[in-house]
């Protein structure tokens, strides 16, 4: 739960510039919704590495791991 | 058998039929991991073309393709051409107001789009009176309008016979919208003739063949991305089509699987590759050519790029949508002339002129002009703006293109970019009109004044910066301003920096003086 809320707040604040929780569904594809693009993805990686003390390998930078709140939460949990 | 009569090639899409005739079973497109052969591409193009014509699509009609880089997008481009139409690819990041502007500006008769963009287009389609047909690809479950048809159904229900269509090389083939200094985007008009010419010139100097496998991660709405598709199909080569560079590991995997040989990038992408290479070494030995345009490639990237692409020739290029491309530096000269963008592309010429229209001497700065069959016809419905850049050439009635960019040339004729003469910002490989951004920001209650400029940024060329004066007593926050920006502007247009000031410097006539800000 803590990972999810921290992550959601990061995305809302840094990519959608709002604190309105309804602006983001956990299943929303970041690519489809235009939330994150190629210049935003490294920021997300740096955030994950810092906030959750995980290391994201280059080969892990795929949509299955990173393209929605749900996917990221699953990915971070699997690394813990 | 059907297409043997297409010699010589006059129309852009004839390249597809020639390639399909030569190698029907060869893979034409690998889109997000799925392979499609040339005969599959022809089959889908014929079917969609028949379907469009059945729905009233006629020669000269504009078809707006508001889609991601996908297989249906490729099919839609060629089906529009085969139907005698003009394709208009619009970046899927485009928001509601601008999409509506473009659809109305070109009076589109057809919109082909992606279901996941329905939040944007469903509010717009009713406002566009010229639209006769809307086709959507992808998961339709959230779309409740019965007037919107599913792409797969439309294609599958149609006949695959070769349709009868008229068309000559002077016909418009594409409108490519680009940011203009007036705030509204302008539709650059290209014909079959200008595009076929540009295509063959590019293929020549990039030394491409049917054996190549070209990667596209740039949007097809951007001519640099679009021409990768056009070149690949023209050659009978293979295109590896990806939606974006957002998830690099996925791109790397596809590059390895397909042994990609051509990697077209912009500095943003190269800088991302470099920072990944620093974390952990990466290498793509199958790539034999990398190309850069849109913004200068910093010379200190070259060494690392050679490590990442050990077998590749590196091409530095410069161009503008109005003529597709202007010049390129022969890759063998990269070390000798690290800051040059080389000479005019094959079959074209360039001049550097002073304010009186005289050629300047080597080493002197002047305005760059372009002459060749790749120059656009003009801007759609914008005669005045067209006349500003298409100026009289050598012969009565001939037009040459003014780039509005300052250049100088060395003794050997190689070109060096010196700066822009207008205030368009080039960021992340895209052009941004400060007025377009300012218009959005002025629309926010509480904003008194706004001025948008470009500031130097190593990673993205220029970064968009906005200076603001906020009304006294207003509780408007920067977060609220940014939110409006992401709702109304494509991501690359959203200012990276905001600075709130008490007042902005003015000229004698009371206009904001941008040259005094910074």
Range B383-412 average pLDDT:
95
Q: Which of A36-45, B230-239, B392-401 has the least mean pLDDT?
A: A36-45
The ipTM of this complex is: 0.84
Q: Which residues from A are below 8 Å from B when comparing CB atoms?
A: 13, 15-18, 29-34, 36-42, 57-63, 66-67
Q: Which residues of B touch A (CB under 8 A)?
A: 92-93, 116, 217, 243-250, 252-253, 268-269, 272, 275-276, 279-280, 282, 428, 460, 479-480, 482-483, 485-486, 491
Contact between B249 and A58 using a beta-carbon 8 Å cutoff: yes
Q: How far apart are CA A20 and CA A4, in angstroms?
A: 15
Task: Tell me the per-residue pLDDT of B256-273, one tens digit each, with 9 for 90 and over.
Answer: 999 999 999 998 899 889
With cut-offs at 50, 70 and 90, classify the pLDDT of residue B5.
Answer: low
- Neighboring chain B residues of A58 at a CB cutoff of 8 Å: 248-249, 252, 276, 279-280, 282
| Average pLDDT for B208-227 | 97
The CATH architecture assigned to B425-517 reads 2-Layer Sandwich (3.30)
Least confident of B52-61, B69-78, B417-426: B417-426
Q: In the predicted model, what is the mean pLDDT of residues B187-202?
A: 98
What is the count of residue pairs from A and B with beta carbons less than 8 Å apart? 69
- pLDDT of B315-371, one tens digit each? 999 999 999 999 999 999 999 998 999 999 999 999 999 999 899 999 999 999 999
**Cα gap B125→A27, rounded to integer Å:** 27
Partners of B148 in the beta sheet? Answer: B134
Task: Give which of B243, B247, B491, B498 to mutate to test A binding, by max A Cβ within 10 Å.
Answer: B247
Burial grade of B144 (CB within 10 A; 0-12, 13-18, 19 or more) = exposed
- Which residue from A37, A64, A42, A15 is spatially nearest to B244, judged by alpha carbons? A37
Specify the DSSP class assigned to residue B181: T
Q: What CATH class has B38-191?
A: alpha beta
Partners of residue B428 in chain A, C-beta under 8 Å: 39
* Band (B63; pLDDT cuts 50, 70, 90): very high
Task: Specify the 3-state DSSP secondary structure of B208.
Answer: coil
Q: Is the dihedral of CA B231, B234, B239, B244 positive or negative?
A: positive
Pair of tokens at residue A74: 């699953």
**Domain residue ranges in chain B:** 38-191, 425-517
User: Does B247 contact A57 at a Cβ distance shorter than 8 Å?
Assistant: no
Beta bridge partners of residue B406, listed in sequence order:
B367, B419
Which residues from A are below 8 Å from B247, CB to CB? 41, 61-63, 66-67
pLDDT at A31 over 70: yes
DSSP class of residue B296 equals P
Summary count for chain A: helices (H), strands (E): 4, 0
Mean pLDDT of B13-18: 96
pLDDT of residue B497: 92
Q: State the pLDDT confidence band at B3, using cuts at 50, 70 and 90.
A: low
For A38, the closest of B245, B252, B483 (CB atoms) is B245
pLDDT given for residue A58 in this prediction: 84
Whole-angstrom distance, CA of residue B251 vs CA of residue B495: 28
B384 contacts: CB under 8 Å, gap ≥ 6: none
Give how far B113 is from chain A: nearest CA, Å. 13
Alpha carbons B81 and B96: distance in angstroms, whole number: 26
Q: Please answer yes or no on whether B491 and A18 come within 8 Å at the CB atom.
A: no
Q: What is the pLDDT of residues A9-25, one digit of tens each?
A: 999 998 888 889 999 99
Burial B284-305 (b: 16+ CB within 10 A, else e): bebbbbbbbbbbebbeebeebb
Task: Judge whether residue B314 has pLDDT over 50.
Answer: yes
CA dist., res. B408 & res. B414, Å (int): 8
Does the pLDDT of residue B518 top 80, yes or no? no
C-alpha to C-alpha distance for B199 and A1, rounded to whole angstroms: 53
Average pLDDT for chain B:
93
- Output the pLDDT for position B166: 83
Q: Where are the beta strands (DSSP E) in B307-460?
A: 313-318, 327-329, 343-344, 349-353, 366-371, 378-379, 390-392, 399-409, 415-420, 425-427, 430-432, 447-457
At B49, the pLDDT band (50, 70, 90 cuts) reads very high
Per DSSP, what are the bridge partners of residue B431? B426
Q: Is the C-alpha dihedral spanning B185, B247, B224, B389 positive or negative?
A: positive
Please judge whether B247 and A30 are an interchain contact, meaning their C-beta atoms are less than 8 angstroms apart. no
Identify the residue among B461, B491, B494, B498 best suited for mutation to test binding to A, counting A beta carbons within 10 A and taking the highest. Answer: B491
Confidence of residue B1 (pLDDT cuts 50, 70, 90): very low
Alpha-carbon torsion angle B415, B419, B420, B423, nearest 10 = 160
Contacts of B271 (CB under 8 A, 6+ apart): B301, B458, B459, B460
Say whether B247 and A34 touch across the interface (CB within 8 A).
no
Strand extents, DSSP E, B103-203: 110-114, 133-137, 148-150, 172-178, 186-191
What's the pLDDT score for residue A34? 85
Give the per-residue pLDDT at B323: 97
Contacts of A66 in chain B (CB under 8 A): 247
Question: Which chain A residues touch B269 with a CB distance below 8 Å?
Answer: 38
B491/A66 CB distance under 8 A: no
Q: Which pLDDT tens digit goes with each residue over B480-493? A: 999 999 889 988 89
Percent of chain B scored above 70 by pLDDT? Answer: 98
Distances (CA, A) of B131 to B124, B135, B355, B371: 11, 11, 45, 36
Q: Please count the helices (runs of H) and the strands (runs of E) in chain B.
A: 14, 27
């Amino acid at each position: 739960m803590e990972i999810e809320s921290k992550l959601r707040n990061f995305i809302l604040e840094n990519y959608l510039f709002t604190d309105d929780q309804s602006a983001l569904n956990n299943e929303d594809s970041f690519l489809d919704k235009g939330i994150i693009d190629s210049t935003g993805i490294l920021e997300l990686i740096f955030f994950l590495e810092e906030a959750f003390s995980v290391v994201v390998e280059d080969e892990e930078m795929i949509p299955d791991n990173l393209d929605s709140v749900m996917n990221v939460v699953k990915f971070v949990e699997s690394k813990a | 058998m059907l297409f043997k009569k297409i010699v010589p090639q006059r129309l852009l899409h004839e390249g597809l039929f020639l390639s399909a005739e030569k190698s029907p079973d060869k893979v034409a497109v690998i889109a997000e991991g799925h392979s499609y052969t040339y005969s599959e591409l022809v089959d889908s193009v014929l079917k969609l073309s028949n379907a469009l014509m059945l729905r009233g699509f006629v020669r000269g009609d504009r078809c707006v393709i508001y889609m991601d880089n996908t297989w249906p997008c490729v099919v839609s481009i060629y089906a529009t051409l085969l139907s005698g139409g003009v394709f208009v690819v619009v970046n899927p990041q485009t928001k509601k107001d601008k999409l509506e502007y473009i659809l109305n500006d070109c009076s589109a008769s057809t919109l082909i789009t992606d279901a996941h963009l329905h939040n944007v287009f469903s509010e717009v389609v009713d406002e566009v009176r010229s639209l006769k047909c809307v086709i959507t690809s992808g998961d339709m479950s959230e779309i409740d309008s019965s007037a919107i048809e599913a792409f797969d159904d439309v294609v599958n229900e149609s006949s695959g016979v070769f349709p009868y269509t008229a068309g000559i090389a002077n016909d418009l083939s594409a409108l490519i919208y680009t940011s203009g200094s007036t705030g509204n985007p302008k539709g650059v008009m290209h014909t079959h003739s200008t595009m076929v010419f540009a295509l063959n010139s590019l293929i020549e100097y990039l030394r491409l063949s049917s054996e190549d496998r070209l990667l596209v991660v740039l949007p097809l709405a951007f001519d640099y991305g679009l021409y990768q598709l056009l070149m690949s199909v023209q050659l009978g080569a293979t295109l590896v089509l990806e939606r974006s560079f957002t998830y690099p590991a996925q791109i790397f995997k596809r590059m390895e699987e397909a042994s990609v040989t051509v990697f077209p990038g912009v500095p943003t992408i190269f800088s991302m590759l470099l920072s990944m290479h620093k974390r952990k070494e990466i290498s793509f030995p199958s790539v034999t050519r990398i190309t850069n345009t849109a913004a200068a490639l910093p010379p200190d990237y070259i060494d690392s790029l050679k490590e990442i692409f050990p077998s590749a020739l590196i091409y530095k290029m410069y161009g503008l949508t109005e003529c597709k491309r202007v010049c390129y530096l022969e890759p063998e000269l990269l070390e000798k002339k690290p800051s040059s963008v080389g000479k005019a592309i094959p079959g074209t010429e360039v001049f550097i002129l002073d304010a009186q229209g005289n050629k300047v001497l080597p080493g002197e700065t002047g305005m760059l002009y372009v002459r060749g069959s790749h120059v656009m016809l003009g801007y759609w419905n914008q005669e005045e703006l067209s006349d500003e850049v298409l100026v009289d050439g050598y012969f009565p009635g001939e037009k040459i293109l003014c780039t509005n960019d300052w250049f100088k040339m060395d003794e050997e004729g190689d070109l060096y970019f010196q700066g822009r003469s207008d205030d368009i910002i080039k960021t992340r490989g895209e052009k941004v009109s400060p007025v377009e951004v300012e218009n959005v920001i002025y629309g926010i209650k509480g904003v008194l004044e706004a001025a948008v400029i470009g500031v130097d940024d190593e990673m993205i060329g220029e970064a968009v910066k906005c200076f603001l004066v906020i009304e006294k007593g207003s509780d408007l926050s920067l977060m609220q301003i940014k939110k409006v920006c992401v709702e109304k502007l494509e991501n690359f247009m959203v200012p990276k920096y905001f600075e709130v000031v008490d007042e902005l410097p003015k000229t004698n006539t009371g206009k904001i003086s941008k040259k005094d800000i910074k």
